[in-house]
Amino acid sequence: MAAVWWLRLSMEAEEMVKTYFLCSEHTVNRCEPLLRIKRTSRPWETVVSNLFELNGKQYLVVVDYFSRWIEVAPLRSTTAASLINHIKSLPKVFIADNGPLYKSSEFARFMNQFSITHVTSSPRYPQSNGKSERAVQTVKAMFRKATDPYLSMLAYSSTPLRNGIRPSELMLGAKLRNSLPVIPTEIVPKWPDFELVKKCDETDQMRQIDRYNHRHRAQALSELAKGTAVAIKDNHWRSRGEVKNHADTPRSYLVETPQRVFRRNRHMLVVLPEDDNVPRTSMNANDTDAHNESRIAQEPDCSRVPDPSNVTTTGYGQTSLPLRRLTNY
């Protein structure tokens, strides 16, 4: 087996890959560092919501950011009116995904009527709504294992968090009585020290962020300027477009495609070569061949590969060729 090498081989190979359409379109972006979430100052100030299905039934889950208190309600019908009836506790900020119920005009009127700030996560990117996704997994696991779902929710609300405080204490200012024996003085209403809870949560949050960034080798992606050619990478669908502007949510962009304007997270956008003159639509095999033929001149110069007349074989049976630049000395 022959092997060749020249100075800047890896760099030239990397640059060549970046200039080809197929390589650029199928590039996988690295994970970005986790964003630090600003902690709320009181219960039910900011909540996140999601819908899920279990055993043929639809459920609504709402999680309080401050206390991690979880509310679960079965939905008899998946309509905006049914959804609104369960969230009339009126938080200040309401975070949800881009489901049809949350994006309906009736739900938008309800948000405006009570001056609730409605924030939607990045479409097709559930990581941006991780609090509700984690709550759905927790509730599903409890409902599958428990014979009485209400007792399972009571057990969750009475279980201390990482900071040592129970969700019921942060939400209601009291420990809830459950099936376990408890001293009467332990369930006397008493608010915990919020400053101490805040410090514990911030320390734990920074520890989790550091672990995630280290485990995934997270690296911040470059900002995209207006007019940048990008490829949108969804699960089983790809399209090409042009960055129109920044979206309201962090790390999100509005991308104009031949179909329509999409809002996507930066992680789902792959920057295409600047000198790519192929129309921003799906390409077939003939287009790809013509596109690659136009880039032959950009391939790395292999003239520096030495003449294989002077060949040596290593002890492992590999063929070694000397560099041409060394044969002149």
Residues 185 and 228 in one domain: no
Q: H or E segment at 312?
A: strand 312-313
Residue 317 lies in a domain: no
Highest mean pLDDT among 7-21, 27-41, 80-94, 228-242: 80-94
pLDDT confidence of residue 292: 46
Q: Which residues of 144-179 are buried (b: 16+ CB within 10 A; e: fewer)?
A: eeeeebeebbbebbbeebebebbbbbbbbeebbeee
Reported confidence tier of residue 297, pLDDT bands at 50, 70, 90: very low
Residue 245 lies in a domain: yes
Residue 313 lies in a domain: no
In the predicted structure, residue 95 carries a pLDDT above the cut 70: yes
Residues 130 and 55 in one domain: yes
Write the pLDDT tens digit of every residue in 151-183.
999 999 999 998 899 999 999 999 998 888 888
| Averaged confidence pLDDT in the chain | 83
Residues 65 and 166 in one domain: yes
pLDDT confidence of residue 289: 47
pLDDT confidence of residue 284: 42
pLDDT confidence of residue 320: 67
Residues 29 and 91 in one domain: no
CATH code at 63?
3.30.420.10
Report the predicted TM-score, pTM, of the whole model to 2 decimal places: 0.73
pLDDT confidence of residue 323: 59
Residues 198 and 257 in one domain: no
Residue 309 lies in a domain: no
Q: H or E segment at 62?
A: strand 57-64
Residues 233 and 175 in one domain: no
Q: How many domains does the chain have?
A: 2
Q: Which of 215, 240, 267 is the last residue of a domain?
A: 215
Write the pLDDT tens digit of every residue in 277-295.
444 444 443 444 444 444 4
Residues 95 and 157 in one domain: yes
